[in-house]
Structure 1
Amino acid sequence: MERGSSDEVVVVGSGIAGLTTAVLLAESGRRTRVWAREPAGRTASAVAGALWWPYRIGPEPLVGAWALDTLGVYEELADRPGETGVRLVDGVHRGARLDELGAWAGRVPGLRAVADGLAARLPLIDMPVHLAWLRERFARAGGTVEEREVTDLAAVPAAVVVNCTGLGARSLVPDPAVRPVRGQLVVVENPGITTWYTSVDHVPDASTYFFPQPGGLLLGGTAEEDAWSREPDPATAAEIVARCAAVRPEIAGARVLAHRVGLRPVRDAVRLERRSLPDGRTLVHNYGHGGAGVTVAWGCAREAALLASAAA
């Protein structure tokens, strides 16, 4: 096994959880490397719709704190949208109610009840831009990213190993409690829509939402449990467009630009904890963020970085 320095940290995974955690560690002065099987642009994070909102993630009391912490960061980053990919955008969660949400909802600025749901001005993140910005920020702090496949966390040569592998943790840890919930999106030319929209659907594996991003209007979506296929399904895509067009008819004629599929790493509860490797070195887990990895990224990264630093 390679030998790593006694103060080195290796973060395994280059999605939003891995890069955000790595940034905080590097900026705290720790020598930090990111090891990833694939570049950030090919992770599940890269295809996320990326509206800040807790979705398919638990436990709720902890999620609220992580999400609010992250919201504060995004509100600052939204001052530089071209650089960070973060904008504050108005929209409506149709069918949502304040009394059905956790205590965190009362601390979201401007979140209010309207006739058909809840309205708010929330962070909407252009993920390709944001992931590139995180990687550049990590590099400025002295961090390095390496494309390396990890098959054994105990074999990673570092004093502290941080596991941010998302769905990969299912086989790597191994942890069968983390499983995929498949999400399919359609990207169309934006016919002039400037607000986001989501709807609470009664069909468990389907939803209706659209998010205006700089590269087009993102239409969704699906939530197919234990589905592993990364190939877009044409029939599903047509259903997504039809559901969104029922809300905004101008979407029906919009030219399709791309199809995207991502596998959300869902777990009953986020795994964020410190463990010891067989030789006494430290392993920190930070995975299982479901459909809200973007929403809790900074809150979870702060806690993971503290766990890693406490092991120094």
Structure 2
Amino acid sequence: MTAATLLKEAGYTVSIYGEAFSCTTSDVAGGQWAPSIVAYDETSAVACHRFFEILKKSFDMHKFRLGSQFGISERTNFCKRRGPSLDKAANAGIIARTRLANLPFKYLNGPGYAYSTLLVEPPIFLEKLRHDLRQNQVPFVQRKFASEADVLTLPEAIIVNCTGLGSKVLFNDLNMKPIKGQLALLKAQPALDYLYSTGRTYVFPRADHVVVGGSQEDNVDDCIPDLTTCRDIIQLAVNAFMGSSMSTIRRKPWMLRNK
């Protein structure tokens, strides 16, 4: 949707092909703006310059769309420890990072950090993009592709690959690997206006839900939620906000590393 929007704004005639246009993984994603799990050659000055150039442009374009229509708002993300992905943006001067003597919570009140970032609420953001694209007469063509040859039967001269994990099969992209993450969606709490993420857990209050996450399963491509894992994810967040120094849940392979 984003690629189609940018191409349309640049004056191109656009068609969108896809198996599904709603109820996708992106529709329920957490939504914090951060360069999380982005691979690039950090030893190359050229690659680093390009990465941060893209990062700055991404932040500015999202900030330009601030407001309830797009579901984008400025939020503070509180962290017990410095977050590697947020630090990249802070070190480049894209977002602000503040060292705190005490986090503003009853039990989780030791030293920490505050990052000034954005919350992008996918259910609102994606619906707005879909609506605007349809208003601009962009056709949505439901189609499932089985191979690269199948893709190349399209009449368009330029094809932008937004298939994500599907690239592994369609284009024999062996570098494309699945990562499964599970979320617990709790009842919305309008009074919560901050984000929290440290180590194994994150909590993102949105208009529709409070999103609690904490899992990362490499090379797993099924979309089946596991209730036991989701209960453990919630317990990790409870432990964090109760100020527990060590989790009461034994370390498990699916638990997040520090992002």
Deviates more, 1:46-55 or 1:62-71: 62-71
Matching of residues 71-220 of structure 1 within 5 Å? 71-78=59-66, 80-81=67-68, 83-96=69-82, 101-102=87-88, 105-115=91-101, 116-151=111-146, 152-190=150-188, 192-200=191-199, 207-220=200-213
The corresponding residue for 1:295 is none
How far does residue 97 in structure 1 lie from its aligned partner after superposition? 5.9
Return closer, same or farther for 1:148/1:136 CA change in 2, 3 Å cut-off: same
How far does residue 103 in structure 1 lie from its aligned partner after superposition? 6.8
Higher strand share: 1
The two structures, once aligned, show a CA RMSD in angstroms of 2.3
How far does residue 162 in structure 1 lie from its aligned partner after superposition? 0.8
Which of residues 42, 49, 60 is equivalent to 2:30? 49
- Per-residue CA deviations over 1:29-73 (Å, capped at 9, x if unaligned) read 22110001111x232211210100111112152433222211112
For 1:224 and 1:126, the matched residues in 2 are separated by 23
For 1:183 and 1:166, the matched residues in 2 are separated by 15
SS in 1 for 2:60: helix
Return closer, same or farther for 1:53/1:103 CA change in 2, 3 Å cut-off: closer
Give the aligned residue type for 1:242.
Answer: Q
1:230 lines up with 2:223 in the alignment: yes
Which of residues 56, 59, 64 is equivalent to 2:52? 64
Number of equivalenced pairs: 223
The corresponding residue for 2:105 is none
Matching of residues 236-255 of structure 1 within 5 Å? 236-248=229-241
Return closer, same or farther for 1:104/1:159 CA change in 2, 3 Å cut-off: farther
1:29 lines up with 2:48 in the alignment: no
How far does residue 229 in structure 1 lie from its aligned partner after superposition? 2.2
Preserved CA contact (<8 Å) 1:94 1:118: yes
| Unpaired stretches in structure 2, ≥5 consecutive residues | 43-47, 102-110, 243-258
Preserved CA contact (<8 Å) 1:186 1:220: yes
Return closer, same or farther for 1:97/1:225 CA change in 2, 3 Å cut-off: closer
How far does residue 101 in structure 1 lie from its aligned partner after superposition? 4.0
TM-score, with length taken from structure 1: 0.66
How far does residue 124 in structure 1 lie from its aligned partner after superposition? 0.6
| Unpaired stretches in structure 1, ≥5 consecutive residues | 1-18, 201-206, 250-291, 293-312
How far does residue 120 in structure 1 lie from its aligned partner after superposition? 1.9
Return closer, same or farther for 1:103/1:88 CA change in 2, 3 Å cut-off: closer
SS in 2 for 1:186: strand
SS in 2 for 1:177: coil
Preserved CA contact (<8 Å) 1:182 1:226: yes
SS in 2 for 1:50: coil
Preserved CA contact (<8 Å) 1:31 1:142: no
For 1:219 and 1:153, the matched residues in 2 are separated by 37
Give the aligned residue type for 2:57.
Answer: D
TM-score, with length taken from structure 2: 0.79
Give the aligned residue type for 1:57.
Answer: V
SS in 1 for 2:31: coil
How far does residue 100 in structure 1 lie from its aligned partner after superposition? 9.4
For 2:197 and 2:83, the matched residues in 1 are separated by 13
